[in-house]
């Protein structure tokens, strides 16, 4: 287990399939390389989360998630600015079911959180993002809570401050605007 405040320490473990915990806009997230099926499977096992539910990808900019998505409409392109809302965009058929679950879309957030933005920029990759908890339990808000609840199951904790949002990101459908999770 590596606990660090230095983003550079996270790069190699991430690229080797590590499960990382990191601060997001409201809570701590758990993540891994979205192109590493073994890491995604392990993440789902740790969370005791059904793969049918799908996962969110966070990124520093839209180019990091574009390869997973079908071309966006002009209206959808307006939703790709940094913020604290996750949007479901139509996924390419080639996008792993381990990411999108039983859905035709993929949830994406271009994060405004400085640590996520820096991490994704240094990784040159999006990150799988799900709350740092066992499914159904309260998500961790601090690195100490992550260590206490998941420390023996994950590989890296990136210390830092969560953002000012009170609860995990709202998830909206990018076509209908319908709120999937508030």
* pLDDT tens track, the chain, 182 positions: 899 999 999 999 999 999 999 999 999 999 999 999 999 999 999 999 999 999 999 999 999 999 999 999 999 999 999 988 999 999 999 999 999 999 999 999 999 999 999 999 999 999 999 999 999 899 999 999 999 999 899 999 999 999 888 777 788 889 888 888 87
Q: Which is nearest to 168 in space by CA: 131, 126, 128?
A: 131
**pLDDT at residue 105, rounded to an integer:** 95
Contact 59, 108 (CB under 8 A): yes
Instruction: Report pLDDT for 168.
Output: 74
**Confidence at residue 15, expressed as pLDDT on a 0 to 100 scale:** 96
> How many C-alpha atoms does 182 have within 13 Å on its Cβ side?
3
Q: Which residues contact 82 (CB under 8 A, 6 or more apart)?
A: 110, 111, 112, 117
Q: Could you count the other beta carbons within 10 Å of the beta carbon of residue 78? A: 10
Q: Three-class SS of residue 182?
A: coil
- Please give the helix or strand (H or E) that residue 14 lies within, else none: helix 8-15
Overall pTM surpassing 0.75 (yes/no): yes
- Cβ of 157: how many Cβ atoms within 10 Å? 26
Domains defined along the chain, listed by start: 2-181 (3.90.870.10)
Of 25, 22, 13, 5, the C-alpha closest to 163 is: 25
Answer whether 62's CB lies under 8 Å from 80's CB: yes
């Amino acid at each position: 287990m590596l606990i660090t405040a230095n983003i550079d320490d996270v790069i190699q473990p991430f690229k080797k399939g590590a499960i990382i915990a990191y601060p997001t806009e409201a809570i701590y997230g758990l993540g891994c390389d979205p192109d590493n099926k073994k890491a995604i499977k392990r993440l789902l096992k740790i969370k005791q989360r059904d793969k049918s539910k799908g996962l969110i990808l966070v990124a520093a900019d839209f180019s990091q998630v574009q390869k997973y998505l079908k071309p966006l409409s002009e209206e959808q392109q307006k939703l790709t600015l940094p913020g604290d809302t996750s949007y479901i965009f139509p996924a390419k058929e080639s996008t792993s079911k381990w990411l999108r679950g039983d859905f035709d879309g993929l949830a994406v957030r271009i994060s405004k959180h400085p640590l996520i933005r820096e991490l994704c920029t240094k990784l040159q990759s999006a990150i799988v993002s799900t709350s740092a908890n066992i499914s159904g339990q309260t998500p961790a808000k601090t690195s100490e809570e992550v260590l206490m609840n998941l420390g023996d199951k994950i590989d890296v904790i990136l210390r830092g401050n969560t953002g000012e949002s009170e609860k995990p990101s709202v998830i909206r459908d990018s076509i209908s605007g319908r709120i999937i999770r508030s």
